Structures are given as C-alpha cells and as structure tokens.
Amino acid sequence: MEPIVNIQKILIANRGEIACRVIETCRKIGIKSVAVYSDADVAARHVRLADEAVHIGPASASESYLQSSRIIDAAKQTGADAIHPGYGFLSENPDFANACKENGIRFIGPSAESMKAMALKGAAKALMIEANVPVVPGYHGDDQSLETLTLEAERIGYPVLLKAVAGGGGKGMRRVDNSKDIAAAIDSARREGENSFGNGQLLVEKLIERPRHIEIQVFGDSHGNAVHLWERDCSLQRRHQKVVEEAPAPNMPENVRKAMGGAAVRAAQAIQYAGAGTIEFIVDGSKELSEDSFYFMEMNTRLQVEHPVTECITGTDLVEWQIRVADGQHLPKSQPEIDAQVSGHAFEVRLYAEDPYNDFMPAIGSVKKFKHPVSTSSMRIDTGIETGDAISIHYDPMVAKLISYGADRQQALMAMKSLLEQTSLIGLTSNRDFLKALISHEDFGRGDVHTGFIADNSEQLLTSPAVTSLEFGFAALATHLNRPTSHLTDDPWCGGDAFRLNMSGGYTERFEDGDGVEVACYISASANEITVTALDECHSFTVLSHSLDTLEVRHSGKRLLLTTAVETDTVTVVTPDKTITLKRHSMNAADDQATEGPGNLMAPMPGKILEVLVSNGDAVEAGQPLLVMEAMKMEQTLSAPRSGTIAGLNLKAGDQVGDGSLLLEVHEQSE
C-alpha cells in the first residue's frame, strides 16, 4: 500500500470501544493517537491506550463529546492532523465536518455535502429514486400537518411506520396499525425526534411485514471510485436496535447479492461519496429473496458498530481504509479483488448492561468483574470496559462487541456460543444469557430470521428462567468456599463450622431469588467433597480448584467451570448458560416491600419527566399511561400498576428523578 503522508496524528472524537478500536489501527500503521475524555471518563480504557489525552468537559455528552469547538481546540492543542469521529456523537454532523475543514484538520469521513444529502430521509429517498435505487412506498413531503400525515397513512395503507427524518437507532420511530392510533403516534414520534435530533419532521412509509434488515458496506474515495464489501444481515433487533449481526447474510442468492451491491454503489456514487458508509435495505422476508424484494431504507454516513463482521470475511481493516481515503489515496482494492478475497462467515453480538427480563432496562453502576477470552483467529472482543470501570447514565450501556469467525456459518455460530460461555459480567445485569438463548434458537440456526423475531419469540427468549436446585447449590458452595474459616475437612479443631460428635459439621445458608422466594441450603463438608441440600435435592461437589472469582468442580461426573462473586448481601454465579444473582438472607426485606408496594409507581432508572398525564385524585385503570419519562435518550411510558386513585404526585415536566424513586401512588378505591 501507499505510505500515509498527510496524517501523522489522529484525534478520536469519541469514547468507549470505538475509540479503542481506532487507536488499535493507529498503532498498527504508526500514527499517533489523541483521546478526549469527559469527567466520567478520566480513567477510561481509551484514555489509557492513547498516546495523549485531553479533557473536554463534564460527564454529560452535550457538554463534552458533542462540543465540537472543544474537540477542534483539542486537535489544535495536540497538533493532530485529522479527527476520527467514530460513530454516534458528531460522526454524522456536517457542521463539525466543515469546522474541521475550516481549521485545516482532515475529517476522517465523508464530506459535509454527502452527509447533508443523506441526513433527511425524505430528501435521501428522492435522491435514490433518481439513482434507480428501489424505495419503499411512502410520503416524505414538507407538509407536516396532522391532517396530511393522517391522509397519507390512509393512502399508503396500514400498517405504516412513522420515522423522524433525522432519526436513527430506533428513535423517533413508531408502528401504527390503525387510524385511531395515528394522532398519538405522530405526537410521540415528533417529540422524540425533536428531543434527540432537534428535528421533529416525519415521513410515513408502508410497513413491510416479516422484514429482514440487510445492509451493504460501501466505500468511496476522492478519485470517483466506489465499491461494496458485501452485505450484513442485521435482522435480529429489539426496538429497532440491532442485537446480532452476521456476514454474509444467510440464504442470500448470488444474483440478489449482486443486485443489492450494485444498488448500494449507485447510491454512493449519486452523492460523490468518499469514506466508509452503509446502505441499509429493508427486505421482504415473507418470500424467497429476489431482485425485486429489497428497498432502500437509509444511508449511515459513518463507520457502523457492526463493521467487524465485514472485516472478518473480507480480510480488511476498515478503519485503515478510512484513514487512507482521508489521506487522499485511492481505494486499496477493486471490486473484483474484494469479491475474490471474501471467505468464511462472521457473527457479532452486542453485550449490554441491561435486563432483558425487565423490558431491557439499562443497568447503571460499577463493573465488579468482566471476564472474557483473549482474541484469537476465531474470536474477537472489542470493548472499552474493564473490571472496575463504570457504566454511566450519560452514555450507551454497551459493554463490548463479541465477534466470531469460522469457515462457514455453523463454525462461526459454534465459536460465538463458546465465546459467550466464556464471558461473564458481574456487578451489573447483562444480556449475555439472552444472547446465548437467541443464537441457540432452532430457527436462528437455520438462518430463518426477521426484525420481529425477538418479539415473536418473546415468551421463550424473554421469560426469566427459575433458579434450579443445582444453581442454589452452586451459590451455597461459592459462599462456603468464600468463608475465611472454610476447610475441606472433618476435623472439628480445624474447621470453622458447627459440629456434632456423631456426624460431619453442617450449617445453613439462606438465599432469595429474583421473585422474592427464600430458599435454605444445608451445607456439609467432608475430606473429599462438599454436599449441599436445596429444594429437597442433594448435590455433592468435588472441588478441583478455586480462587476468589473462579470455581472448578466435579458434579455427577461432569467438570464445571464457574465464575463467582460472593459479597455481604449477594452471591453471583455464572455458568456457561446462565448468570444467577441471589440475595443472601436480608433482615430488611419487609422494609423493601413497604417501599415497593403494589400501588406504588417507581422510577425504573434515572431520567427526566417529559409529560404528566394525570393529577392527584384522578381515577385510573390498571395499565393506563400515567407519566412519560426520558432515559438514555429514549421515551418510556409508565402505566398504572393497578386500578385506583392517584395520590402523592408532585412531579412536573422537566423534573429529574432518581433510580427507584417513588413517583406516585395508586390507592385502591376503598383506601
């Protein structure tokens, strides 16, 4: 490849795993890196990895990572030749790209003009029609009155999808199935678009049932060249946000791949695109894929979160390509060279600090332990988080991207299952178990996926499994081995447990599961094994090795490797398939129950009240919307936990509320 001559130092205007990812490539090709950080990220991994780091403001993104002037100043201060925006934050902000240009700093991304062309979905759709790229039937006009949007929805035919024209990541997007719901959906989508992107304009599209989300990675340079690097299937989503991505797409006919790739390249050429971009298509998954079954959805004018799966199958470093294009070079490879090099299959899953069994509620707090295998040719971990770091309310709660690669889809899938089994997050609830169940689903194994897959299989995927007798046994065993006086012996003078002259010593530990059920576990130890009785079942364990957080045992002839964390109030055990966190017997259970009573509406996480829909004294029905709050930039409607009368409401729009705070009470009519 050509030497890089114009870029010697890059400032990364981002944080977390993508900042670490860019720094990795900078190191590989001999370019110095500069990190920026907020008050919340003083000791973050990307700060530690970079050659230099500059503080840019308070924890809130609006006062730090979204402050373009501070980032430009940091680049000048450190002598950076270029700025890599990563994804999110300022990555698709044309004003920021222009500011870089005006200050003599190269922006590692497309031109501001290209961004503007694709920023508004309505205008982008018109451009695509001109470029002979298929689009979904819909309305993207300037008349945004409720009457016009309602009439257009009727013309297109329900169900329809409302989209904020400047939106992304599922924000400002609403499904509407009938005319009676359209007004409320328009109001909500418009408000979310204004709050998230400063633009409440909407477009209306025909909703395609059982859709697949297939996107094409494109790349252009400043010399007029454009190529595609094959497709990614991102159909497994929740709330329009991607959960699992893979490349190539399963069950993709070669003629359809060529048609989609050609359409994507035409889209990039239509706006003289230079840099990494993604053309997202919605595909009719109700029938076999064909050349007339895909439609342009939007273009992301940046590097995608899921770019590693493309890197795996094409053998490319897309960040390096970005840097070389920004340096003024030609694309490193032609389309025939790319096509000839593609091999194998890759998956990516997004490990989040969130609770899949509680409506995917984000988890905020300290990461007490994050364990994962080292990267190999078949496994890769992209992360900005390490043990001891914190997940903050101010940023996305993604912990890591786990990537697997294999010679074919089955091998890549087996590698991903192994990677998940070897990964554990302790201290915060995570979606690891959900991801394992998701990729183990029979239909997913066949590649039979669509964007409604998770919702359609919610009972199987999103029901919290009960804690088994054996799992209570694991918790008791970990607790026993964590006792300062614990010994594998019958000798009463050496052990710290109670004993009788005619039998081995034993004692009881009590645990409480997530449903509030308390279980007593009787533990006794001999010279060779530890026995735990829980839920009327007896389990004998032979301890092969144990440390502060790792336990290797033999049970019923099988060797098991567990990750454990025993604390004063809780014990966590991570098995290959399941994460079990139990309360150790608490004397304050009654007090806790008094706070979280059946009629009390609690804040599910920290956030801001957007709308108060009721007043004190109002009679409400169970499930009736009471409040609308915003958390992690997403709206959430909080409903009545039961029928009754509103009391104790002292909130107004704009109020900030803490996690678990009492918002209001719903008194029974007789109270």
pLDDT of residue 592: 42
Residues 278, 261 contacting (CB under 8 angstroms)? no
Supply 298's token pair: 């939007």
pLDDT of residue 496: 43
**Selected catalytic residue, list 302, 324, 350, 380:** 302
Give pLDDT < 70 ranges for the chain.
169, 484-505, 586-597, 632-633, 670-671
Distance of alpha carbon 75 from alpha carbon 70, whole angstroms: 9
pLDDT of residue 516: 87
Residues 270, 127 contacting (CB under 8 angstroms)? yes
Q: Sign of dihedral through CA atoms 639, 394, 100, 111?
A: negative
Distance of alpha carbon 614 from alpha carbon 663, whole angstroms: 12
Residue 2: which H helix or E strand, with range? none
Supply 671's token pair: 């109270």
pLDDT in tens, 266-308: 999 999 999 999 999 999 888 889 998 999 999 999 999 999 9
pLDDT of residue 591: 39
Domains and CATH numbers, the chain: 9-108 (3.40.50.20), 137-206 (3.30.1490.20), 211-461 (3.30.470.20), 469-584 (3.30.700), 592-667 (2.40.50.100)
pLDDT of residue 505: 58
Residue with tokens 């008349």: 143
Q: Sign of dihedral through CA atoms 617, 621, 622, 623?
A: negative
Distance of alpha carbon 403 from alpha carbon 422, whole angstroms: 13
Q: HSE on the CB side for 493, CA within 13 Å?
A: 0
When the pLDDT of each residue in the chain is averaged and rounded to a whole number, the result is 92
Q: Is 65 left (phi over 0), alpha (psi -120 to 50) or beta?
A: alpha
SS3 content of the chain, % helix, strand, coil (to 5): 30, 30, 40
Q: Bridge-partner residues for 168, per DSSP?
A: none
Phi, psi of 39 (to 5 degrees): -60, -30
pLDDT of residue 495: 46
pLDDT of residue 198: 87
Question: Catalytic annotation on 302?
Answer: yes
Closest CA to 401 of 246, 278, 250, 251: 246
**DSSP secondary structure string, 234-293?**
EEEEETTEEEEEEES-TT--HHHHHHHHHHHHHHHHHTT--EEEEEEEEEETTS---TTS
- pTM of the complete model: 0.81
Q: Is 644 helix (H, G, I), strand (E, B) or coil?
A: strand
**DSSP secondary structure string, 47-104?**
HHHSSEEEEEE-SSGGGTTT-HHHHHHHHHHHT-SEEE--SSTTTT-HHHHHHHHHTT
Q: How many CB atoms lie within 10 A of CB 253?
A: 12
Q: How many CB atoms lie within 10 A of CB 94?
A: 19
Distance of alpha carbon 402 from alpha carbon 419, whole angstroms: 7
Cα 33 to chain centroid distance, Å, stands at 26
